[in-house]
């Protein structure tokens, strides 16, 4: 690898104090032998233009050459308009979580949340064979869009979106259909009895927002075929506090659960790949299993 000096990266969002991204990225760069200063920056939508305009300034948000940015709520949609280029995935989803800054200042938007969801569900026990079936998604925001794209990657046939306000999920249903997935919008209250009928479930609601369905889940019966009361793998994107009420109820019913930290881990691994790609100019490859393991251990997750 190259021997970079004064390189910067960071995570943007509001609020940002809870973010584990600096810990994850620090572990990755230490394992890779790279001196990259990665910090959290509290940026609101109204402050985003000013932050982005100062990236190339010597007296900007942090001195040095920027490699990239991790983007969290509420900036995943707002950031798209500042990009010079978009990956095909971002063009389709309309949201990003990763910005790669080339040496000439070109900004490219990526979405690694999809990778994070697929890998986290795999860690929870999802298997692609047999193909088909449906993904249950709680919520209809930007992470739900990534979950829909993940359903396509996992070879599923359709998605059911469980939301409190059906009209707000219309765009996500359209996205699913554009990916040749069947889509249904359903009231959140229906989820507890419908849960066993899915191949996997992704909860994208904010912390504690799924608490009302957790209690109902404890005593819910299956809505699928007789005897089909086993719960599928669940990824609960919330991870603070943990375990969530939903995760606890899921485990009480015998289902496998992973927290949003697993998703955060795997999407961050892909971010590190993207951020450091232009530094790897000597033809050597990184030991990505070792990087992933170091990142997992840095946030208290089990070894890979």
Give the catalytic positions in this structure. Answer: 76
> For the packed helices 113-123 and 142-153, what is the interaxial angle rounded to 10 degrees?
60
Identify any residues that bridge with 184 across adjacent strands, giving them in sequence order: 160
Phi/psi at 252 (5° precision): -60, -30
Q: For residue 46, how many other CB atoms are within 10 A of its CB?
A: 9
Angle among Cα 224, 192, 125 to the nearest 5 degrees reads 70
Q: Are 142 and 73 contacting, i.e. CB atoms less than 8 angstroms apart? A: yes
282, exposed or middle or buried, with CB in 10 Å at 0-12, 13-18, 19+? exposed
């Amino acid at each position: 690898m190259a021997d970079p000096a004064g390189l910067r990266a960071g995570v943007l969002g509001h609020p940002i104090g809870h973010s584990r991204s600096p810990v994850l990225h620090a572990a990755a760069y230490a394992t890779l032998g790279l001196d990259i200063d990665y910090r959290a920056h509290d940026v609101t939508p109204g402050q985003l233009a000013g932050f982005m305009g100062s990236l190339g300034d010597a007296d900007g948000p942090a001195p040095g050459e920027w490699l990239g940015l991790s983007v969290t709520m509420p900036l995943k949609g707002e950031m798209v308009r500042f990009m010079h280029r978009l990956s095909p995935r971002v063009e389709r989803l309309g949201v990003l979580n990763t910005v790669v800054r080339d040496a000439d200042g070109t900004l490219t938007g990526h979405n690694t949340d999809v990778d994070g969801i697929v890998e986290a569900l795999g860690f929870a026990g999802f298997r692609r064979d047999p193909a088909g079936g449906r993904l249950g998604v709680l919520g209809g925001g930007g992470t739900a869009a990534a979950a829909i794209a993940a359903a396509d990657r996992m070879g599923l046939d359709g998605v059911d979106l469980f939301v409190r306000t059906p009209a707000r999920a219309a765009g996500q249903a359209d996205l699913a259909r554009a990916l040749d997935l069947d889509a249904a919008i359903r009231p959140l209250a229906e989820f507890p009895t419908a849960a066993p009928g899915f191949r996997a479930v992704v909860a994208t609601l904010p912390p504690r927002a799924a608490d009302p369905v957790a209690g109902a889940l404890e005593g819910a019966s299956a809505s699928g075929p007789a005897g089909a009361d086993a719960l599928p793998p669940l990824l609960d994107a919330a991870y603070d506090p943990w375990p969530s009420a939903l995760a606890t109820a899921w485990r009480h019913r015998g289902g496998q659960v992973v927290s949003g930290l697993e998703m955060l881990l795997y999407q961050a691994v892909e971010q590190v790949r993207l951020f450091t790609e232009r530094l790897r100019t000597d033809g050597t490859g990184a030991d990505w299993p070792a990087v992933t393991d170091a990142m997992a251990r840095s946030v208290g997750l089990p070894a890979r």
